[in-house]
Structure 1
Amino acid sequence: MTQLLSLVVPFYNEAAAIQSFADAILPALEAVPDARWEIVCVDDGSKDGTLLKLVALAQADSRFRVLEFSRNFGKEAALTAGIDAAKGEAVIPIDADLQDPPELIAEMVKAWREGAEVVLARRIDRSSDGVLKRKTAAWFYQLHNKLSKIKIPENVGDFRLMDRAVVDALKQLPERQRFMKGLFAWVGFRTVTLDYTRAPRAAGETKFSGLALWNFAMEGFTSFSTAPLKVWTYLGAASAMLTFIYALYIVIRTVVFGNAVPGYASLFVAITFFGSVQLISIGLLGEYIGRIYMETKQRPAYIVRKSYGGDGASG
């Protein structure tokens, strides 16, 4: 008996990569025995010819379905929309740049059929990424997993297979500010891991700038841990203790040696140090308060302007 499986693919200004993606993904899907496929493509407000090419694919092949966003909502929203729309017994998110190998899909499905509910794809070789990106990614995983009770598997991206039970659990999570790697880890379920080597992009350029990656990391830290708030509590206590010791030193020095320059240096240091600490701590509080503010509005994570394509049931 054939099973309906879903591939979820976010697109943002990926017109140059679409044909290469289709040429690579279709043979990989057809190599999976006893499976029917739907390919849920989410156009995240692209400004190039991405939507037109996706619609053309959907018209030519009923396995393709296209969701068009009303504007750019971001990759996390696009992943959410694709997962919400997927009908398959298992769902596989994958990027359109082909850095994640479509050939691994057959192994993922095999592991799922043998009992795994989540099949992770782990990058064991990221030499195709720049040195700075590799280093910052390693630092992020290490720091996040030290701060948070929810551990994110290192060097595992969005490329994975999830059973329908996992997808249904994800759809119960109501937050609007979504950090999908954390949500994937939070729901749990029986998990196995497959290793692969990350390839260069097939076409186009990455859409994540340095600032975007920094904001993404902040989203991860504040979504699954309150440890940064606790850190500032401890820092405040340590600063108070150091201030007391320094004040004691100033008193003793003044009594013993006198005070040739009355107060300027110590006052300057104290004001600048504690002013900086207060600004940083206020900024950190603002990150959490901002998340609360966005969640209380209860706006949807995305808006689908229009959908295109067939029923996704042909194999």
Structure 2
Amino acid sequence: MVNAPDVELSLVVPVYNEAPSIDLFLVEAAPVLEAITPAWEVVFVNDGSRDGTLEAIIAAHGRDPRVKLIDLSRNFGKELALTAGLDHARGRAVIPMDVDLQDPVAVLPRLVDAWRGGADMVLAKRVDRKTDSLAKRWSATAFYGVLNRASTVDIPHNVGDFRLMDRKVVDALGSYRERERFMKGLFAHLGFRQAVVEYTRAPRAAGQSKFRFVRLWALGLEGIISFSTRPLKVWTYIGVAVAAVSLAYMVWIVVRTIIFGIDLPGYASLLTVMLFMNGLVLTGLGVIGEYVARIFSEVKGRPLYLVRGRLGVEDARGRS
């Protein structure tokens, strides 16, 4: 990682089909950044956009070279796009942000003040999520409740990617190179001295959310599997419980047969038990398969992402 002391503050902004939001974001962010320090940069990561996002970023770079670009070769997903931005950001402090301005730029000075006050990582915590749908709020609460019960790492609720990280924290995060990434979990795993800044989440400034239920489900599953082995361990207890019930039932059948004789067994009950047991076996195999699939992905050792082009940023020295 290139450590360039001339850049004090970096914003890392992954974008995918966000052409209408680029200029809106910069109009809001640039004055706030300028008031904090003139030594700032905004690193946009174009994650395979198919609209005019790339052209909008190039035009913005022409107006101000502190606006920079990492153009990925295809869509790798937000987690890897964010990783690419963090790998290339050069600031002494780095803040990942969404381009939709739901994370208000007015919060940036408060994050920087907490960092200058001695915190290595400053978490931006949402205290009001009225802009999210009821289903999304409910599912987020349920997910973090399950995840924190299963995981050995405490992942704060209502804290997303929006946060400030000191250079030493970003460099430490750069050593985490797993292919299947749940960034909120990785952030929590880092530790360091932390502070919390609360804020109210704003509506999107432009465009539409790219997250759908299937993608949220996949991300949630990734978080649980990446930071907990309990889904594997629980099947030991399920197996013991089912075996105990089966043994008790067997004893009851033997005793009943000895006392009352043999009667005709029920086909329906036998079929129900067989289907239930097969369902348990297949579910257990599915859980094992999720872990095996991630092992398969890791051992291939493919690059996390591929960069097609850059504007204003240096190579991450092969750490991609």
Aligned mate of 1:126, from 129, 133, 146: 129
Distance (Å, rounded) in 2 between the aligned partners of 1:184 and 1:225: 15
Using the TM superposition, give the Cα deviation of residue 102 of structure 1 relative to its aligned residue in structure 2, in angstroms: 0.6
The answer to whether 1:117 aligns with 2:120 is: yes
Contact 1:55-1:309 within 8 A present in 2 as well = no
Residue of structure 1 in register with 2:10 after alignment: 6
| Count of aligned residue pairs for this structure pair | 310
Give me the whole-angstrom Cα distance separating, in 1, the residues matched to 2:22 and 2:261.
77
Q: Distance in 2 between matches of 1:63 and 1:259?
A: 86
User: Which residue among 24, 49, 54 is the counterpart of 2:28?
Assistant: 24
- Give per-residue Cα distances to partners, 1:253-276, cap 9 Å, x unaligned: 444555654241332122111101
Report matched runs for 1:164-313 at 5 Å: 164-256=167-259, 261-309=264-312
Contact preservation (8 Å) 2:42, 2:67:
yes
Contact 1:64/1:310 (<8 A) preserved: no
CA–CA distance in 1 between the matches of 2:7 and 2:212? Answer: 39
The residue correspondences of 1:3-82 to structure 2 (distance < 5 A) are 4-32=8-36, 34-82=37-85
CA change 1:202–1:253 in 2 (3 A) is: farther
Matched letter for residue 219 of structure 1: E
The percentage of aligned residue pairs carrying the same residue is: 53
| Residue of 104, 108, 127 corresponding to 2:107 | 104
C-alpha change, 1:199 and 1:164, in structure 2 (3 Å) is same
CA distance in 1, matches of 2:237, 2:199: 41
Q: How does 1:145-156 map to 2 (within 5 A)?
A: 145-156=148-159
How far apart are the structure 2 equivalents of 1:253 and 1:165? 70
**Structure 2: which amino acid aligns with 1:199?**
A
SS at match of 1:97: coil
- Aligned-partner residue type, residue 275 of structure 1: N
- What residue is the counterpart of 2:318 in the other structure? none
Task: Answer yes or no: is 1:142 the counterpart of 2:145.
Answer: yes
Deviation at 1:309, TM superposition (A): 3.8
Contact 1:91 1:167 in 2 (8 A): yes
Classify 1:58/1:241 alpha carbon distance in 2 versus 1 (closer, same or farther; 3 Å). same
Q: 1:109-150, CA deviations, whole angstroms, 9 ceiling, x for partnerless residues?
A: 011001000000001111110011001101111111111111
| Counterpart in the other structure of 2:317 | none
**Deviation string for 1:188-213 (max 9, x for gaps)?**
10000011111111111111111111
Q: Does 1:93 align with 2:96?
A: yes
Q: In 1, are the aligned partners of 2:41 and 2:66 still within 8 Å (CA)?
A: yes
Opposite residue 98 of structure 2, the aligned amino acid is: D
> Which whole-Å CA distance do the structure 2 matches of 1:81 and 1:185 have between them?
19
| Distance in 2 separating the partners of 1:181 and 1:300 | 21
* Cα offset, 1:179, TM superposition: 1.0
Give the 3 Å change call, closer, same or farther, for CA 89–48 of structure 1 in structure 2. same
Higher relative contact order (CA 8 A, sep 6+): 1
The amino acid across from 2:214 in the alignment is L
The CA deviation at 1:169 is 0.2
Deviation at 1:247, TM superposition (A): 2.5
**Residues 7 and 90, structure 2, Cα contact 8 Å, conserved in 1:** no
Secondary structure of the residue that 2:293 maps to in structure 1?
helix
Deviations 1:1-25 (A, max 9, x none): 9862110000001112222211111
How much does 1:181 deviate? 0.6
Q: Measure the CA separation in 2 of the matches of 1:28 and 1:258.
A: 86
Compute the displacement of 1:246 (Å).
2.3
Pairwise CA RMSD of aligned residues? 1.7
Deviations 1:284-305 (A, max 9, x none): 1011000000000111110010
Give the TM-score, by structure 2 length: 0.93
Tell me the amino acid that sits aligned with residue 141 of structure 2. Answer: A
Aligned partner (choices 163, 169, 173) of residue 166 of structure 2: 163
Q: Is the 8 A contact 1:63 1:310 kept in 2?
A: no
